[in-house]
Structure 1
Amino acid sequence: MKLNTVIENKLLPLAGKVTTNRYLRAIQNAFLTILPLMAIGSFALILGSPPMKYADMDAGFFREVMHVWQNFADFAGPSLFTIFHGTISCLSLYVALGIGYYLGKQYKLHGFLPTIASGITFFILNASGVKMEMVFSYFGGEGLFSAMLVSILTIELYRILTEKNIGKINIPGNGVPPALSQSFAALVPLTLICIIAMLVGSICMTVAGVPFPDLMTKLMSPLVGVVDNVFGVIFLSLLTMLLWWFGIHDTAISGITKPFLVSNNTINATAFAAGTAAIALPHILTYPFWWTFMAIGGSGATFGLAIILLKAKSKHLRTVGKLGIIPAFFNINEPIIFGLPLMLNPVFLFPFLFAQTLNGVITYLLMDMQFIARTFADPSWNMFCPIGALISTMDVKAVLLVIALIIIDVLIYYPFFKIYDKQKYEEEQTNTESE
């Protein structure tokens, strides 16, 4: 069976189902909503944590910069870390609330109560110990898988209870405010949800000896371990780019991988805030790792291609380059993917698959050898990659690495660009002569 047939008959329908899945859409929307919180928390962490000790530096301008930075961090650090703990350290809580809101919205559930239900369940299941006290460590990346599962199950249970009118309380009278009638109608469903969450939490502590979020993390760890390595980088990158080549947006994959990547980066941020050196953080494969060091200029690492398109003989290719170069600075490459096109273009299949993948392998190995600091801050996916590399790692060597990767990407794309440029130029010349 040919590869095209397999993808058209198997992968395309599967990717379509993944993209339209209501649960994945709710998860994607929840993460998109909290992006500002991630950025705010990341910058607060950076401002409160100078990357180098000025006392160990030679006299000069940069030593003075670090000295001023350290004085500022000593003064404002405690306040900045409250921002960090109120944003990134509460990631799982915000994701639970976001999924509750967006999934409830898809089901057309009334009011803010579905969101509240998700939050209540999340809080209840984070209790542990003999006294069932709240464990705030699960509010960050450690509790992310639990937050997603709990929120989805809570909304499904809430939907069933309300649709079946189980325990619905109707307030008589015509002048009753809608908010009040909705609140009383949800009283029994919310009570049942709280009781069920309490029982699940108690059973986890009694049988497994750990809170529900910890149990979920342990159950997911084998699956996470399969992709949280250099082979996972290769597999995820090749799969993503193969789907892109067939015109399937990377949201078909990112809806599944993004929670895992964001969780890894949040765990790194928490470890960095606790004093762990940036080169020794727990995880390498993170969300900033993907968008800053792999997908430079957008999926397929097309920033290098955007540069060489500007020098094309073909008028069409030069036009695409001019249209695509500015968006490429912000990791947006749809003008190149669909304008060149890269999609379904056999000439560019090899570089489109392997440029981004090679970027990931090189970066992973350098970080694994502790030559480059690992990411802990999230500067946003559309930050210009050299700047994003500095912000996400606070390591100047990371900037040099991104520049080197862009050069490598240029070299990878160049031979295939020359072939396609020649084809398009000859077509344009033929069309001109025929006119």
Structure 2
Amino acid sequence: MDNNSIWRTRVQNFAGVLQRNKYVNTVSNGLAAGLSVILVGAIFTLINTINIPAYQNFLETTNLKALTSIPPMITIDILSLYVVFGVGYTMATQFKQDGFSAGLIALMSFLAVTPVGLLDDGATRALSFQWLGSTGLFVAMLIGIGVGRLYVLILEKGFYVRMPKGVPPTITKSFAAMTPAFIIIFLVLAIRGIFNATSYGNIHEFIYTVLQVPLLALGGSWWAYLIITVVISLLWFFGIHGAMVAIGVMAPIWTALNLENLSAFQAGEPLPHLFPGSSFFMTYTALGGSGATIGLVIAMVRARSKRYKTLGKLAIVPSAANINEPVIFGTPMVLNPKLFIPFMLAPIVVTGIAMIATAIGLVPPLIGIGAPLGTPILINGFLEGGWRVAALQAVLVVISFIMYFPFFRSLDKDAWKNEQELEEEERKAVE
């Protein structure tokens, strides 16, 4: 066996150990459980953001915009609520306990650490969407895992109210969950109190401030852009919305770069910046979304397993518009060791190629219009720099596919085997 084969075997064995880990499985399955609502949100986000003036005017004048904006608001914008329940539920079921009660307690705990504000009247309490969406995802996963595991531990130690025989199972489970719920809420309130006493104010703000401080030291140079690209994928791998963290910090710098290029273009002057941040990100780096996952989705469309083939068909249209929540959570990409390498490298490679192509004049610098989310690949490239930019995008899509395909093939093979085993078990059960 050569060195490459030995290395490949070790990596596969390590990936297998991680995938069999109950905590990793909890996150993966908990995220995947919310795929239905994520897909609804992604599709309606696309419907809502198609950048055609006549179409947008139609939505506004017919008041359809008010309706089509509701699905994203109650899915993607409060994604952490679904995730904390799903992770808490899955954590408990991993240990053969009642997942529904664990999920509810996890949801309660997440809301307990999330700040509530007052409206302008000074009396009406309101729960802001600020930490309910992808920005609260990391905290949601931590709480889901912690609460789910603590719930199991309390029940295993016998600290719960036992009901007499003959009581309906639903009532029995509810009373059994009361003791864990009271213990957990006291612990969660203690956590909230600790963070309230700090300058951060809450645990969500703490997480984001700690992540944002290193990013603030970066500027708008090419090396800073590459570092940001790595950070985005790395954060996403651990369940943190990397693009929101990084772009939220870099937005002032990147917006300024875009506007300077756009002003120069309108004045007929040479464009001052080769890599205008947000335009460059949406045009080249985020092909298909964070991680340049468009190639992965294309591979899924031709998958052997039913699971990934179906996901690929559902995700291809949103991914073509750089919306990849269905892929991130449906695969899932979070804590998925088999896709870690391409998820990290694909955006770096496509970004590097785009930078070199721009620097040597193969494609023009982007004019910085900042095409909004939902503008399809190729179209946003054409708007940003003409046919040569769109052509480079097409090449980068192929490169993304080449980078993801060998890793996805291994993942797909495992999924296909599992499906065959399940079908065989079902066939035997029928016989």
Cα separation, partners in 2 of 1:236 and 1:10, compared to 1, 3 Å:
farther
User: How far 1:93 moved relative to its partner?
Assistant: 1.3
For residue 133 of structure 2, what is the aligned residue in structure 1? 140
Matched ranges for 1:359-378 at <5 A: 359-362=350-353, 371=368, 373=370, 376=373
Which amino acid in structure 1 is aligned with residue 112 of structure 2?
I
* Cα displacement (A) at 1:42: 3.4
After the TM superposition, which residues 185-196 of structure 1 pair with which residues of structure 2 at under 5 Å, given as runs? 185-196=176-187
Quick one: which amino acid aligns to residue 230 of structure 1? Answer: L
- Asked whether the equivalents of residues 267 and 282 of structure 1 are also in contact (C-alpha less than 8 Å), the reply is no
Asked if structure 2 preserves the Cα contact closer than 8 Å seen for 1:91 and 1:140, the reply is yes
SS of 2:191's partner is: helix
Give the whole-Å Cα distance in 1 for the aligned partners of 2:241 and 2:182.
32
User: Aligned in 2, Cα 1:369/1:20: closer, same or farther, shift over 3 Å?
Assistant: farther
- 1:256 equivalent among 237, 240, 244: 237
Determine the C-alpha separation between the residues in 1 that align with 2:400 and 2:178.
62
| Structure 1: runs of 5 or more not aligned | 53-65, 238-252, 307-323, 332-350, 378-386, 415-435
Equivalence for 2:269? none
C-alpha separation between the residues in 2 aligned to 1:115 and 1:263?
26
Aligned position for 1:150: 143
Q: Deviations over 1:79-129 (max 9, x none)?
A: 222222111110111111111122222121125101101110111010256
State the AA in 2 paired with 1:116: L
Residue 198 of structure 1, CA deviation: 1.5
| SS of 2:197 mapped into structure 1 | helix
- CA-to-aligned-CA distance 1:177-235 (integer Å, 9 cap, x gap): 11111111111111111121112112211133411111122234468889994246479
Cα gap change, 1:223 to 1:266, in 2 (>3 Å): closer
Q: What amino acid is aligned across from residue 164 of structure 1 in structure 2?
A: K
- Aligned amino acid, residue 112 of structure 1: F
1:391-422 deviation per Cα after TM superposition (whole angstroms, max 9, x unaligned)? 9x6975599656434446879999xxxxxxxx
**SS at structure 2 position matched to 1:127:** coil
* d(CA) in 1 for partners of 2:248, 2:20: 29
| Residue in structure 1 matched with residue 411 of structure 2 by the alignment | none
1:115 equivalenced with 2:103 (yes/no): yes
Q: Which residue of 1 aligns with 2:15?
A: 15
User: 1:24 maps to which residue?
Assistant: 24
SS across alignment from 2:198: helix
- Please give the alpha-carbon distance, in whole angstroms, between the structure 2 residues aligned to 1:195 and 1:413: 49
Q: Residues of 2 paired with 1:412 and 1:42: CA distance?
A: 21
Give the RMSD, CA atoms, in angstroms.
Answer: 5.2
CA spacing shift, 1:360–1:106, aligned 2, 3 Å: farther
CA distance in 2 between partners of 1:136 and 1:411 (Å): 37
CA distance in 2, matches of 1:108, 1:162: 11
For structure 2, the 5+ residue unaligned runs are 253-257, 260-275, 303-308, 320-341, 359-363, 403-431
Partners of 2:80 and 2:137 within 8 A in 1: yes
Number of equivalenced pairs: 324
Deviation at 1:259? 4.3
Q: Is the 8 A contact 1:48 1:77 kept in 2?
A: yes
CA contact (8 A) 1:27 1:148 kept: yes
TM-score, scaled to structure 2:
0.58
Aligned counterpart in structure 2 of residue 230 of structure 1, from 213, 226, 230: 226
Task: Determine if the alignment matches structure 1 residue 71 to structure 2 residue 64.
Answer: no
CA distance in 2, matches of 1:262, 1:98: 23
Using the aligned pairs only, state the percent identity: 19
Corresponding position of 2:192: 201
Structure-2 change in CA distance of 1:236 and 1:139 (3 Å): closer
Of the candidates 147, 151, 170, which is equivalent to residue 162 of structure 2?
170
Once the two structures are TM-superposed, the CA of residue 145 in structure 1 deviates from its matched residue by 1.2
Q: Which has the larger radius of gyration?
A: 1
Partners in 2 of 1:86 and 1:284 — Cα distance? 27
- Corresponding residue number in structure 2 for 1:33: 33
